Amino acid sequence: MSRFGQNFLIDLNLVDLIADSAGLRKTDVVLEVGTGIGSLTSRLSDQAGAVLTIEIDANLHQMASEELEGRTNVRLIHGDALRNKNALRDDLMGQIRDAISRIGDEARFLLVANLPYNVATPIISNLLLETPPPDAMVVTIQKELGDRIVASPGNKDYGALSVWIQSICDCEIVRVLPPTVFWPRPKVHSAILRIDLAPERRAAFADLGYFHQMVRSLFFHRRKFLRSVVISAMKGRMDKADVDQVLAELGHEGNVRAEQLSVEQIQGVAEALRVAESNANQA
């Protein structure tokens, strides 16, 4: 059953904790990725206004359909939540927006899920680029991934994902879970993570998509110095002298690496490069 990276929570108190940590209201629209047999889904259905849940495994989808029969606020989808690793399936956000429009101005959008390990990063990362993004996410993920998301500069876990999510969200690990609370038992610890969107921080970006791509580029070769990474990222878009000028104006000369910079400093680099590239294109 775990061929899609799914491990099922067998401690129902922890299933309750995931649902309770979301603080759901009857005006909430919830997306769940990885329905499993519907244990969490039924709790979400009790507390939320609408639940859209998606399961890739045909047998599990059938079992969940029987478990959730009669719950009129639940919509089950059989299939993959992702079109590819950089994009959600085409119809997913349309269905979320439809559910939000039916509820009205009070509606919030949340992701609440025991995420299959192999899709956790693209699901979380891509949802934050969507319209609307989730107001909050409460997810069970590999602890290692949770550590990366909440990591601070200079920490070995600090990287593109840390910067991307912390730039527009507040995040915290709610609980670390041992392998024994899952079936099949994974070889690693897991964590319940809560992520809260900071709308004013997200709205402050002139081009969120540009920032997202630039952050990934800056950490692509994390052991290289920032200058060489930026020159590589801007190849064909900006010459070395212009890159040097941007970094000098920001005070990032010499042997600094991206992993040593704070989230705010990375934002400054990305925005300065965006402005410089835009000005160069207009010249």
Contacts of 41 (CB under 8 A, 6+ apart): 32, 35, 51, 53, 64, 67, 68, 74
All domains of the chain, ordered by start, with CATH?
Answer: 2-202 (3.40.50.150), 208-282 (1.10.8.100)
Cα(120)–Cα(173) distance, rounded to whole angstroms?
A: 15
pTM of the model: 0.95
What string of pLDDT tens digits covers the 283 residues of the chain?
445 668 899 999 999 999 999 999 999 999 999 999 999 999 999 999 999 999 999 999 999 999 999 999 999 999 999 999 889 999 999 999 999 999 999 999 999 999 999 999 999 999 999 999 999 999 999 999 999 999 999 999 999 999 999 999 999 999 999 999 999 999 999 999 999 999 999 999 999 999 999 999 999 988 899 999 999 999 999 999 999 999 999 999 778 999 999 999 999 999 999 999 999 888 6
Question: Residue 66 to residues 36, 42, 52, 62, 96: CA-CA distances in angstroms?
Answer: 12, 12, 16, 7, 23
Taking a C-beta distance cutoff of 8 angstroms, is the pair 189, 177 a contact? Answer: yes
Helical residues (DSSP H) of the chain, grouped into ranges: 12-21, 39-47, 58-67, 92-103, 120-127, 143-150, 160-168, 199-203, 208-218, 226-233, 240-250, 263-282
